[in-house]
Structure 1
């Protein structure tokens, strides 16, 4: 099973490294990490990721996964990236995204009329691509699976493994990776974070980030 991860500059590394670590354990998985030209993709953590190949050397995907990051603003305007995702999605068994990677799926016309999610700070932008936001950590609509922000990609990967190979395989991989979250704080979602923390984070980071993303999307539509 060919699992293709599409990377681009300024990608959020955990959007990619979380699900790829899990999905690489799927029986029969062949991981293909690709960038447009086969060159390394920069991340939001100060290091780069060396892909397996460029788009032209990539086989047809059984599963295609598009992570997010601030680089999405440029990626949705890159016809080579968008066309690659659109073409790969036509024959893929599952089309997936993590965080704002959903907007690349949207640019490829893959969200129209679909239930979907993304990072909480950007969910109001999903309707710009014709998507219907569903408030959940992982949302499945047919063969489309979208995950919320960053760490949600790990949960999505386990759900996908269960759908393909069964719950016991997913449970075994979960144990092998010792995925047993017990965060020190209850502040990981809008449902539990304090109003003050949400307001401060929006003002400090996400008001501008969401406005910039909206501007980039509106330039396309």
Structure 2
């Protein structure tokens, strides 16, 4: 069973979490051998950028996850909850750094790439984020590509917000096959995009 843990934090973007989670959960219900969980470092729920209270579905246990998926959120506002607050705290990047192991895959949606960068995971590697943060990602050490999903083996990043759907479908295809990804996209009435 492939397990994808979506790591949430206060100020996370709602769709960055829900889009890939919905794709992965639907794949599970179709029998794809994939499961998804929403986790937080402290195990508690979080408040999203949109003000929704989001609970967790599992405890933070990165050694049991095949993929650690980090959403973005709140990047445009430098203060308040969101990616910048997590960067200042350092706890989430440190937890990601501690989770590195040979078979661990790290993924991000949108500005979640900056949390992976702070953990030392994007340096010199092809990756993507929201197009408005592309220059910042390059300053953080990544080699920005203007694509919806960039797969560099143990690092899989996706662009802004709705590209989380494409990331979820990419992970389904990678771990369960193209037929499942096609079936999920059809059920969601979503046309996959690459650019």
TM-score range, shorter chain: 0.7 to 0.9
Partner of residue 34, structure 2: 29
1:124 corresponds to which residue? 135
Q: 3-state SS of the aligned residue for 1:77?
A: helix
Residues 67, 98 of structure 1: 8 Å contact kept: yes
Q: Distance in 2 between matches of 1:150 and 1:38?
A: 24
Q: Report which structure shows greater RCO (CA 8 Å, sep ≥6).
A: 2
Describe how 1:148-159 pairs up with structure 2 within 5 A. 148-159=159-170
Q: Is the CA contact 2:147–2:159 (under 8 Å) kept in the aligned structure 1?
A: yes
| DSSP-derived class of the 2:12 partner | coil
Alignment of 1:2-41 (within 5 A): 2-24=3-25, 25-26=27-28, 27-41=32-46
Indicate conservation of the 8 Å contact 1:61/1:88, yes or no. Answer: no
Q: How high is the TM-score relative to the length of structure 2?
A: 0.85
Alignment match of 1:174 (pick from 185, 192, 195): 185
Taking structure 1 as reference, are residues 29 and 165 closer, same or farther at Cα in structure 2, changes over 3 Å only? Answer: closer
- What is the TM-score of this pair, normalised by structure 1? 0.76
C-alpha displacement at 1:65, in angstroms? 0.4
Instruction: Output aligned runs, 1:1-221, within 5 Å.
Output: 1-24=2-25, 25-26=27-28, 27-55=32-60, 57=61, 59-70=63-74, 71-180=82-191
Deviation per CA, 1:76-116, whole angstroms, max 9, x where unpaired? 23333112222334244421000000000000000011001
Unaligned runs of 5+ in 1: 182-188, 190-221
SS at match of 2:4: strand
| Contact 2:24–2:35 (Cα < 8 Å) also in 1 | no
1:58 deviates by 5.4
* SS in structure 2 at match of 1:90: coil
Runs of 4+ in 1 over 6 A off after TM superposition: none
Structure (1/2) with the larger helix percentage = 1
> Deviation string for 1:49-73 (max 9, x for gaps)?
0012443x55521011000001000
Larger Rg: 1
Deviates more, 1:77-86 or 1:100-109: 77-86
Whether the aligned pair in 2 keeps the contact of 1:114 and 1:131 (CA below 8 Å) is: yes
